[in-house]
Structure formats: structure tokens, C-alpha cells
């Protein structure tokens, strides 16, 4: 199957504005539609939250890193709403994205006598967002939740689209549900507290959006990578906005990944294998995706879909974002085994997301020999 998506939108490529007012991108899913609010200082803005909380109680889910930074600020913003507010603080890290940690959320909700109108608020990065969303999908068979992503990766990718879940030792994100939030409130000022490694991990998903769907945006990233590395306010806001526009259109076209939405997994088939093979948390998700994109680009070139000049552009921008360029040596057999558990596999055959030129993605099966050639060329020796 070949699927291409082009998002030629002149508004996306308009001159970068230094206006710091809130930007809203809408995810058009009919009765499950919701806004993505983007801008600095939104975590303190009561008005951002008010329309999306109808029950009498709120449960904030965060982690040990984010709670000291933003927990009290969020509680202050929510206080004027007159709701009962409680907080559950989870251990930080991808290694904790599993059943035992998920049960901490359920324990908290039950002890707080949370009901079907209790709103969960995910305050943190992708791990917190994925687990909170999954808990919201399961608790009493569904309660509302709001995403408040505090990492670049979460703001441009994981908080948008309704994918929720946890990891399993044999596969990343293999247990979960599609469950849309009431809103995404992306306070770009929170990104200033990110360590450089976390910022780089988020840039991998920004780069991905340009590569799969918008050559013009990818060219903008190439030209502005230094500003993005420095977390320049205007550059970051633009990157978050365009990434959310791209992802929201793909999700609106295919909410449950029956077709075109799979292109959002460019770099992830290899990347998820890296994460599972090394042990969750050894590499950040974005680091594995960044390296996985290079592997997918290599495979695309081997199949004659991508020319050498385009592949070199991808290598340069991934390197400039300070992401890994060589995959860990897990062994070809181990990679193949891990990729066979990928959610895109059908009857044991892995479907790869490849590039048919910059800005165009395709979903296709690949001969095993070509995959092995890419693994041999891409892994550390």
C-alpha cells in the first residue's frame, strides 16, 4: 500500500511572527473534536481550563520531576474553578510506563472517590500523558481528561491524537486505547526548563512531521535548527504550531490508524525496536526515533524511493539536532524479532513507513534482505 500526504498550506509557511498571543489548532473529530492551545504562560491561565471541566473534582497526574516545577502553579490556576483538586505523583521515566505505575493512578482515583465526571489532567511529558489518557479511558469505562504537555516531544506529538497506553517488555505501547482528550494546553514556556537531551528528543518528532508531510516545513527546520536548539521562543512556537497542524489533519483523516495515520510512525518501527532492545529508558523515545528515521531513510534509498542528496539532508539535520546517528548493536535477528511485534505488522510481516522523497511518506512491505542490509549499515560496530 502506498499513501502520500501533502499539506501545502501557505499559512503554515507565513513569516515567523513574534506575537506571543495564544494560538489554537483544532482537531476535527466531530463530536470528539478538541482544541490545542499553544503559547507561553498557559499553565497559569484559568480561562484555558474552565470550558473543559464540568464535574466537581479534578485529579492531576504528574511525576516527581514536573511536580516541583509546575504542580503548585497548576493548582493555583485551577483553584478559582471551585473544584476538589487532588494530585498523584508518579515516578519519572520510560521504565515506569507499565502496569504497576498505572495502578497508582487507579488507586488514587478510588481512594478519592472519583466519579464519572472527575477530570484527569496529565501534567508532564509523553509518559505521563500516555498513562493518564489510558487511565481515563479505563476508569469507570471512561472519564474526561486534559493534556498539559511539558516536553517538546509531548507538545508536538504524543499529547495530540488520542493514543494512550503503556509498554510491555516485548513491545512498546502494545497495551492501550484510542481515547481523545477534552483539550491540549501546551505552555511553551515550560520547555525552557528542559535539559538539552530532552529538547533534542522533541526535535526528532518535529523533523518527522516535515519529512512525512511537508517539504516546506522541513526546509524551514533546516534553516532554523540553531534557533530550535536554543529553544528560541518564536521558533519553538512556530514548530509546535505547524507540527500540531500536520498531526491534527492526519488524525482527522484516520483517527484509529486504519490507513494514512500510520505515516506518523516514520522512524518508529526501528526506533521502538531500539527502545525495547536496550531496555525502556536507556535511550529517550525521541533519540530512538531520530536514529530510526535515518535507518528508514537508508532503506528508502536502497529501494530507489529517496535519492542520495535527500538522504544526506536528513542526516545533516538529525546530526544538527544532536540526535544519535548510529543504532545500537542488538543483532539483526533481535531487531527483526522486535520489529515483528510492531503494531503495523500484518500476519507477521512488518510494514515500514518510508519516504517517497522529502515531504511524502508511503507504507509498504520490504524484502527481508533489504532490511538486513540497512541494519548492517546503520548499527554500531
> Which positions are annotated as active-site residues?
141, 163, 205, 247, 257, 261, 265, 268, 272, 285
What grid cell was written down for 214? 511537508
* Residues 6 or more apart in contact with residue 164 via CB below 8 angstroms: 129, 130, 131, 132, 133, 134, 136, 137, 176, 177, 178, 179
What grid cell was written down for 338? 522486535
Amino acid at each position: 500500500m502506498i499513501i502520500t500526504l501533502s499539506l501545502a498550506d501557505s499559512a503554515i509557511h507565513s513569516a515567523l511572527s513574534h506575537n506571543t498571543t495564544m494560538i489554537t489548532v483544532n482537531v476535527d473529530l466531530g463530536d470528539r473534536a478538541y482544541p490545542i492551545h499553544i503559547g507561553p504562560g498557559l499553565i497559569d491561565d484559568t480561562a484555558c481550563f474552565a470550558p473543559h471541566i464540568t464535574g466537581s473534582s479534578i485529579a492531576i497526574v504528574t511525576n516527581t520531576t514536573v511536580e516541583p516545577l509546575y504542580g503548585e502553579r497548576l493548582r493555583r490556576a485551577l483553584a478559582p474553578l471551585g473544584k476538589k483538586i487532588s494530585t498523584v505523583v508518579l515516578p519519572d521515566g520510560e521504565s515506569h510506563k507499565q502496569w504497576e505505575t498505572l495502578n497508582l493512578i487507579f488507586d488514587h482515583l478510588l481512594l478519592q472517590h472519583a466519579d464519572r465526571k472527575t477530570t484527569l489532567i496529565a501534567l508532564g511529558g509523553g509518559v505521563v500523558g500516555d498513562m493518564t489518557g489510558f487511565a481515563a479511558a479505563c476508569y469507570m469505562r471512561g472519564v474526561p481528561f486534559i493534556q498539559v504537555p511539558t516536553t517538546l516531544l509531548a507538545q508536538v506529538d504524543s499529547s495530540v491524537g488520542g493514543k494512550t497506553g503503556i509498554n510491555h517488555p516485548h513491545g512498546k505501547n502494545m497495551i492501550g486505547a484510542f481515547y481523545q482528550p477534552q483539550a491540549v494546553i501546551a505552555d511553551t514556556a515550560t520547555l525552557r526548563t528542559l535539559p538539552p537531551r530532552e529538547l533534542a528528543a522533541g526535535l526528532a518528532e518535529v523533523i518527522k512531521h516535515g519529512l512525512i508531510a511537508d517539504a516546506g516545513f522541513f526546509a524551514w527546520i533546516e534553516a532554523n535548527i540553531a534557533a530550535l536548539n536554543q529553544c528560541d521562543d518564536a521558533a519553538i512556537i512556530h514548530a509546535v504550531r505547524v507540527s500540531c497542524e500536520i498531526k491534527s489533519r492526519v488524525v482527522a483523516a484516520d483517527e484509529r490508524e486504519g490507513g494514512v495515520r500510520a505515516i506518523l510512525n516514520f522512524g518508529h518501527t526501528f526506533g521502538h525496536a531500539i527502545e525495547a532492545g536496550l531496555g525502556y529508558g536507556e535511550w529517550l523515545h525521541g533519540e530512538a526515533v531520530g536514529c530510526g528515521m535515518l535507518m528508514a531513510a537508508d532503506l528508502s534509498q536502497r529501494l530507489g524511493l529517496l535519492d542520495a542528496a535527500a538522504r544526506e539532508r536528513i542526516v545533516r539535520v538529525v546530526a544538527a539536532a544532536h540526535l544519535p546517528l548510529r543504532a545500537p548493536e542488538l543483532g539483526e535477528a533481535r531487531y527483526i524479532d522486535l520489529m515483528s511485534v510492531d503494531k503495523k505488522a500484518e500476519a507477521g510481516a512488518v510494514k515500514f513507513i518510508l519516504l517517497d522523497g522529502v515531504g511524502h511518506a508511503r507504507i509498504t512491505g520490504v524484502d527481508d534482505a533489504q532490511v538486513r542490509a540497512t541494519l548492517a549499515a546503520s548499527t554500531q560496530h
